Structure 1
Amino acid sequence: MKKIGLIASMALLSVASVFAQNRSEQNHAERFEQLGPMLRTPNVYRTASGAPGHMYWQQQANYVINVELDDENQSIKGSEKVTYINNSPDQLTYLWVQLEENQRGADSNTPKVAESSINNRMTLRTLEGIIWANEDFGYKVLEVKDAKGNPLPVTVNQTMMRIDLPTPLKAGDSFTFGVEWSFNITNRVGYIAGRPGYEYFEGDGNYLYTMAEWFPRMAVYSDFEGWQNKQFLGRGEFALVFGNYEVNITVPADHMVGATGVLQNPSQVLSSTELSRWNKAKQTYDAPVVIRTQEEATELEKGKSTEKKTWKFKAENVRDFAWTSSRKFIWDAMAVKQGGKDVMAMSYYGKEANPLWGQYSTRVVAHTIKSYSSHTFDYPYPTAISVEAANGMEYPMICFNYGRPDSDGTYSEAVKNGMIGVIIHEVGHNFFPMIVNSDERQWTWMDEGLNTFMQYMAEQEWDRNFPSRRGPAHKIVPYMRSEKNTLEPIMTNSENIVQFGPNAYAKPATALNILRETVMGRELFDYAFKEYARRWMFKHPTPDDLFRTLEDASAVDLDWFWRGWFYGTEPVDISIENVSWFKLDQRTPAEKAADAKAEADYDETNVSRTANMKDVPETVIEANPATRDFYTTYNPFTVTPADEEAYKNFMASLSPKEKELLNSDMNFYEINFKNVGGLVMPIILEWQYTDGTSEIDRIPAEIWRMNETEVTKVFAKKKEVKQIVLDPLRETADIDESSNYWPRQYQPTRFELFKGSGAARGASTGSNPMKRAKNN
């Protein structure tokens, strides 16, 4: 502990301030510079506030589609009429159409650009993937005609098709054309895998189809990019146009179909019993109503109808359309009150998914709608569907999810929580990007990252102890510790990311959670985030619009945060380098003299002096008076009347406030912090006092603005400190917590003694207590 005088302590603070202003330029770089030139220039379409401009526009594409499923050959054929409305101020001479199914074609670039190698042990599936190019699951037939039936000139480039217009399409005009196509459906769980496809169930000989990316879809033409015609390689997902859909789906008569939109002919495709249950479900809010039971679905699995039914659906203001079909389906539904209307939450699943899905799926759908709506806007669509399909993928009003119990109906807690988490995630995608319609092919994080952040909040609202994988700051630490050559900024194109999940999902979700909890606070963040969602619902936002809106609606300058978390790869690693403890000098002259004498005596105490008291009987000074002077008898520790008078005058000169401060017995802790990682963040300190109490101080990140590598700050505390902890609630993603303590705390790294289990390589070690309990 050090003691300083009142005047000296104030002087130290002043010197520190001057010193900080004279740091070298290497310590004052770009971390707090405004993004300015890095963002697009505001214009009449997108304002500097992050809101749509007064001349904002977007295109529209309306579809009428007829499609038929061939359950014997696992293929579809379809035709569509597309009416494209040019709301832009530009004249268009051609249109771009997306053909994502060609990504699975024989000439696809996807397998060509994928790295591959031969190992000592190769699976059949791996080898099949290498020879993928010999397969062809792309569009087999592709005819494009105008509204009068005249062929239109087209150019197909991989997953993009250009339609050359007979005459330029002027601003405000529309153009109608038709397309016919067919293709073989891929095995969703096979070597090509992917989002859409079928799953074959050998036990009963039936198929479950999840049809997505199944029809030619209009590409986006926008004010900020023109045509978004980047090729689809499989990872960067979709940029799509809003429109209205009328879709007629012809399937075997014993199939159950779920789809985007609202079923238009339930009395024609449902049995009278199913129709009655469906009408009951529309009036039931507390629990799902089973419309087609497991027993009924199991009975249908035994035979295959040769007849056909056509299911008719309509959907308004959606960016895509997906559907599912199988005779295996159990179907349940319930109503959810949301925004002054009823939304139908529904699930479709085979018997293999029970009992897990029957208990949880539709309830989780309903919860997700409520949770997301509370943080953004009221869910605007009439339905929300979850389909058990052995993988996870999202589309407007319908999504495909996983989470299948073991064959005996038991399941591990990990399987249950995984199912709940993926349903929340995929249903949540209705908000981002199905409604807040960002460009997934360019910025995966704008939908996956924002949605993962929302998923974390919904999971915690579902179960306070839910084991969320992404969201809390400390869970991103392993990724932030990664080797630099495996890291890219969040603002990286989807196809160029090495660690895709951590980069596009986890890191942006973590960043938003840190904004909400630590940088902005919940009240400011929630208002600003909701403002972004409302501004851009049913529109096409960019990252600039998000960044600007969150600042505009909160009055918090976040440019340093976007630079560090979204444009950089530096980690958070702040260290407590040194702590000095000071107290104000309250001693009287006599007390100071006594302390000084004690310190002097202590300083003079050493082994030689002690030995000399015996070995040197008499010194020269002691033996010879001629060697003595004033200082021989002078006592520097004597308190003189002048000293007493000076002290008395000093005390009399103090104001009441200064006396209160002097007598307060305050403790001053000077802490030196070092920014080891590079990513500037707020400094959060927990003070643990000797009396057992504690408190937390929060210092904004702007403390680093004059020196981005090292700062010193003095904290005044009434109580004596026992322990100081940096980032006590683990809210900044600090990658080295060992330097977050004063005094330092050292924890042993433990190793475990065990006997080898002899488990096969790759075998699951997850536990299933439910199975053990059932077998006991």
Structure 2
Amino acid sequence: MRRFLFAGLVLALAGSQPALAQNTNSGTDKFAQLETLLPTPNVYRTASGAPGKEYWQQRADYDIQVTLDDAKQAITGRETITYTNLSPDVLPYIWMQLDQNILDKNSMTKATEVSQLQDRMPFQSVEAMLADFDGGFKIDAVTSRDGKTLKTVINHTMMRVDLPTPLRPGQSYSFNVKWHYNINDQLKENQRSGYEYFPEDKNYLYEIAQFYPRMAVYSDNQGWQHKQFLGNGEFTLPFGDYKVSITAPADHVVASTGTLQNAAQVLTATQQKRLAQAKNAKKPVLIVSQAEAVSAEGKRATGTKTWVYAAKNVRDFAWASSRKFIWDAMEIKQSGKPVLCMSYYPKEGNPLWGQYSTEVVAHTIKTYSKFTIPYEYPVAISVHGPVGGMEYPMLCFNGGRPEKDGTYSAQRKYGMISVIIHEVGHNFFPMIINSDERQWSWMDEGLNTFVQYLTEQEWERNYPSSRGEPRNMVNYMKTDKTLQSPIMTNSESALQFGNNAYGKPATALNILRETVMGRELFDHAFKTYAQRWAYKHPTPADFFRTMEDASAVDLDWFWRGWFYTTDYTDLALESVKSYTPSTGDPAVEKARLQQLQAAAAPSISAQRNATDLKSTLIDEKPELKDFYNEYNPLAVTAADQQRYAAYRAGLSPEQQQRLGQQQYFYELTLRNMGGLVMPVIVQLTYADNSKEIQTIPAEIWRKNNERVTKVMVTKQPVISFVLDPFQQTADTDQSNNAFPRQPAASRFDLYQQQQQAPANPMQQATKAASPMQKQEQKPVGGQ
């Protein structure tokens, strides 16, 4: 520990700091503003991030009739679209999305897929290469309202419709489209919709989406959004009202976006009564029980039913159909408005789905509404299918199936809950806050994954969230930069899509909330963004600007580092120098030096000379001694006392008092090894083992992005310093965070080869249960 005179303190600190604080940033200054990267504000989108006074967006209303062929697994349909031009531009043609064409035999997606051959190849990979399924749209006709054929040009997943006369601002145009296509097997052609076949009972479960030609977005910031659909970049769509008539086998149950318009024609009296009971229930009510669904599985009704659904101010529409569906429902109130939360699932989903799905739907609507805007749609639905998860307005498809014996692992349970939260949460991002998924997946997936994390933590304390916690992002962020791409990368070009579009932006927002901005400022700004852009088309700039505008926090450095680069967090505590101020009193200071001298270990040479060297020349010839052989520099002299008295006389009373205080000064040298500037979070552990956290804003790096020093003053000695003790910043190397350095604590397991713990403890426990206990177990929702 070093000591210094107070008189020299200011000079010492001021003299050493500028050498590290000068602007020595290599490359782009990480605190440079984003003005050159963001679009120029205008009357449509303001510098504050809010919609401008002349903001506009287009509208598309649909009247659709669609028929499900359960024998051929095919769709036929026709629609009337009314497109309203609310832009200031004259439109000679319009563009439509034909997303089913991703399954066309000659699709651009298949043509541009990259693959490799290995010495050993699984059958599934080879079968995928040889797949001959043709699922693309077959457009039968595109006509005007009076039946005249309109000229069209199909460019892979986009179709241009040339209008008879240009559509002027404020005008609407209605036209008709007829089409058909083959439905894909989701287990073979793993797309966002399709069917699952159950060989045990020879039934199908259909999840149907992207089933109709849809209008593309025309916007102020980019004109037509007609990037090809290649698989990752999802759907960018205008808002409108829908009326959809779905004709399905008479014994099917149909779940859909919107509200059912003809319940009396398609539901039994018992089902209608149960649905009414669900509106006042505290827990889900079975509309179709498991016993009723199992009974339907073994029969085949003749004829069809047409279910009519309507939805207002939505950007898309999807539905599901099967005779296998169990159906339960429960109504909640959100901001005083009723929301009917429902689930549809086959018996294969129980007991997990009957116990959890609708409760998760309700919890998600409540929690997202708290952090964003109140949910205003009348229903929210979770449908159980074979794989993954996918979202549409008011309805989503979710995986997560227990074993055939009804048991499941913890991973399966929480995975199912998480995917339902995530997909229901998509009602907010992007179904209501309608960002451009085709260009920026992170604006819906990343923001949604972040609120998913908040919702998971409100479901169960210490919920095992896979994304959101900064520590969960470390492995990705420390991978080779050539294997990463910035978050601000087009959806189809991003590497490691799950980490890039979901995990990293969700982690960034969590760090903003917990570490950079604080919960109060962040929550207000995030809610402001949701309120400003509900039912509109926001861009990244609108989000970045709103978050700063509503919080008064300059975040350009954060957006630049986290979203525009592949830099990572690795802050290192390079060194610590300790100082205590000198009292100036010779009696105190020389006594301290005597103690240090006495405690100092003699050199190895001095130790050996004490025994090996019998005498020195001075020992043999005392006449060679002089004043300095007897002089003790640590003895307090009268001259020392006089100088000290003169020194104190020149100090003010405040300075004299400060000399008597016990204070400890530490100079920390910090290095930014990963390139990502972040707040510096330091944990100090004192001699009495108490701890203190000090958080230094990221602006400490503003004049030198790579290396800075910081002086900390304490009233008791510090025995250790640790950076980021709670892993708040996704720091990729914890080994350089402590001073003194701490060895990494870890363990290794000893085990018999091939011996592993059971992945499904519930199954092991069930097998060990007595026969009586087994008989007593019943699937939830089974009766």
- TM-score bracket, normalised by the shorter chain, equals over 0.9
Matched, 1:723 2:720: yes
Query: Structure 2 counterpart of 1:294, which letter?
Result: Q
**In 2, distance between residues paired with 1:213 and 1:71?**
18
Contact kept in structure 2, 1:410 and 1:771, CA below 8 Å: no
Matched, 1:711 2:682: no
Matched, 1:332 2:319: no
Query: Structure 1 counterpart of 2:170, which letter?
Result: G
1:446 paired residue number? 443
1:666 paired residue number? 663
2:781 paired residue number? none
1:187 paired residue number? 185
Matched, 1:569 2:566: yes
1:32 paired residue number? 31
Contact kept in structure 1, 2:758 and 2:764, CA below 8 Å: no
1:767 paired residue number? 760
**In 2, distance between residues paired with 1:660 and 1:338?**
62
Q: Secondary structure at the match of 2:354?
A: helix
Matched, 1:8 2:8: yes
Cα drift, residue 20 of structure 1 = 3.2
Cα drift, residue 657 of structure 1 = 3.3
Seen in structure 2, the aligned counterparts of structure 1 residues 757 and 17 have a Cα distance that, compared at 3 Å, is closer
1:312 to 308, 313, 323: 308
Note the 1:537-686 alignment, pairs <5 A. Answer: 537-586=534-583, 588-596=585-593, 606-607=606-607, 610=610, 614-616=614-616, 618=618, 622-623=622-623, 628=626, 635-686=632-683
**In 2, distance between residues paired with 1:311 and 1:544?**
42
2:343 paired residue number? 347
2:483 paired residue number? 486
Cα drift, residue 411 of structure 1 = 1.2
1:303 to 276, 292, 299: 299
Contact kept in structure 2, 1:441 and 1:494, CA below 8 Å: yes
Cα drift, residue 756 of structure 1 = 2.1
Q: Secondary structure at the match of 1:199?
A: strand
For residues 216-260 of structure 1, the C-alpha deviation after alignment (integer angstroms, 9 at most, x for no partner) is 000000000000000011111011010000000011111101100
Q: Secondary structure at the match of 1:496?
A: coil
1:49 paired residue number? 48
Query: Structure 2 counterpart of 1:87, which letter?
Result: L
**In 1, distance between residues paired with 2:628 and 2:528?**
79
Q: Secondary structure at the match of 2:338?
A: strand
Query: Structure 2 counterpart of 1:84, which letter?
Result: Y
For residues 174-228 of structure 1, the C-alpha deviation after alignment (integer angstroms, 9 at most, x for no partner) is 11110000011000111x2111100001111100000000000000000000000
Seen in structure 2, the aligned counterparts of structure 1 residues 651 and 181 have a Cα distance that, compared at 3 Å, is same
Query: What value does the CA root-mean-square deviation take over the aligned residues?
Result: 1.9
**In 2, distance between residues paired with 1:583 and 1:324?**
73
Greater CA drift, 648-657 or 440-449: 648-657
**In 2, distance between residues paired with 1:21 and 1:747?**
32
1:197 paired residue number? 194
Matched, 1:263 2:260: yes
Matched, 1:253 2:246: no
Query: Structure 2 counterpart of 1:168, which letter?
Result: P
Seen in structure 2, the aligned counterparts of structure 1 residues 652 and 229 have a Cα distance that, compared at 3 Å, is same
1:130 paired residue number? 129
**In 2, distance between residues paired with 1:55 and 1:398?**
33
2:80 paired residue number? 81
Query: Structure 2 counterpart of 1:726, which letter?
Result: L
**In 2, distance between residues paired with 1:621 and 1:707?**
61
**In 2, distance between residues paired with 1:650 and 1:178?**
97
Query: Structure 1 counterpart of 2:215, which letter?
Result: M
Query: Structure 2 counterpart of 1:184, which letter?
Result: N
For residues 333-373 of structure 1, the C-alpha deviation after alignment (integer angstroms, 9 at most, x for no partner) is 01111011110000000011111111110000000000000
Query: Structure 2 counterpart of 1:616, which letter?
Result: T
Q: Secondary structure at the match of 1:4?
A: strand
1:144 paired residue number? 142
2:364 paired residue number? 368
Contact kept in structure 2, 1:29 and 1:708, CA below 8 Å: no
For residues 4-55 of structure 1, the C-alpha deviation after alignment (integer angstroms, 9 at most, x for no partner) is 11122222211133323445453x8410100111000000000000000000
Give the TM-score normalised by the residue count of structure 1: 0.95
1:293 to 271, 274, 289: 289
Cα drift, residue 621 of structure 1 = 7.3
For residues 270-322 of structure 1, the C-alpha deviation after alignment (integer angstroms, 9 at most, x for no partner) is 000001001111222x1011001111111111111121111011100000000
Cα drift, residue 107 of structure 1 = 1.0
Query: Structure 2 counterpart of 1:4, which letter?
Result: F
Seen in structure 2, the aligned counterparts of structure 1 residues 24 and 415 have a Cα distance that, compared at 3 Å, is closer
Q: Secondary structure at the match of 1:155?
A: strand
1:435 paired residue number? 432
Greater CA drift, 649-658 or 675-684: 649-658
Seen in structure 2, the aligned counterparts of structure 1 residues 600 and 743 have a Cα distance that, compared at 3 Å, is closer
Cα drift, residue 649 of structure 1 = 3.5
**In 2, distance between residues paired with 1:588 and 1:154?**
95
Cα drift, residue 104 of structure 1 = 0.2
Query: Structure 1 counterpart of 2:377, which letter?
Result: Y
Contact kept in structure 2, 1:338 and 1:378, CA below 8 Å: yes
Note the 1:80-119 alignment, pairs <5 A. Answer: 80-119=79-118
Cα drift, residue 653 of structure 1 = 4.0
Which runs of 5 or more structure 1 residues have no equivalent in the other structure? Answer: none
For residues 659-678 of structure 1, the C-alpha deviation after alignment (integer angstroms, 9 at most, x for no partner) is 34322211111111111111
**In 1, distance between residues paired with 2:690 and 2:633?**
43
Contact kept in structure 2, 1:579 and 1:672, CA below 8 Å: yes
Query: Structure 2 counterpart of 1:18, which letter?
Result: P
**In 2, distance between residues paired with 1:170 and 1:205?**
53
Greater CA drift, 588-597 or 83-92: 588-597
Which runs of 5 or more structure 2 residues have no equivalent in the other structure? Answer: 770-783
Percent of pairs with identical residues: 52
1:20 paired residue number? 20
Seen in structure 2, the aligned counterparts of structure 1 residues 328 and 614 have a Cα distance that, compared at 3 Å, is same
For residues 610-646 of structure 1, the C-alpha deviation after alignment (integer angstroms, 9 at most, x for no partner) is 4697333546973258xx5x65665544433342133
Seen in structure 2, the aligned counterparts of structure 1 residues 660 and 383 have a Cα distance that, compared at 3 Å, is farther
Q: Secondary structure at the match of 1:379?
A: coil
For residues 683-741 of structure 1, the C-alpha deviation after alignment (integer angstroms, 9 at most, x for no partner) is 00111112121110000000011111111111001122122111011000000001111
Q: Secondary structure at the match of 1:495?
A: coil
2:773 paired residue number? none
Note the 1:397-436 alignment, pairs <5 A. Answer: 397-436=394-433
Query: Structure 2 counterpart of 1:154, which letter?
Result: T
Query: Structure 2 counterpart of 1:552, which letter?
Result: D
For residues 61-96 of structure 1, the C-alpha deviation after alignment (integer angstroms, 9 at most, x for no partner) is 000000011001100100000000000000001100
2:498 paired residue number? 501
Q: Secondary structure at the match of 2:710?
A: strand
Matched, 1:169 2:167: yes
Contact kept in structure 1, 2:85 and 2:171, CA below 8 Å: yes
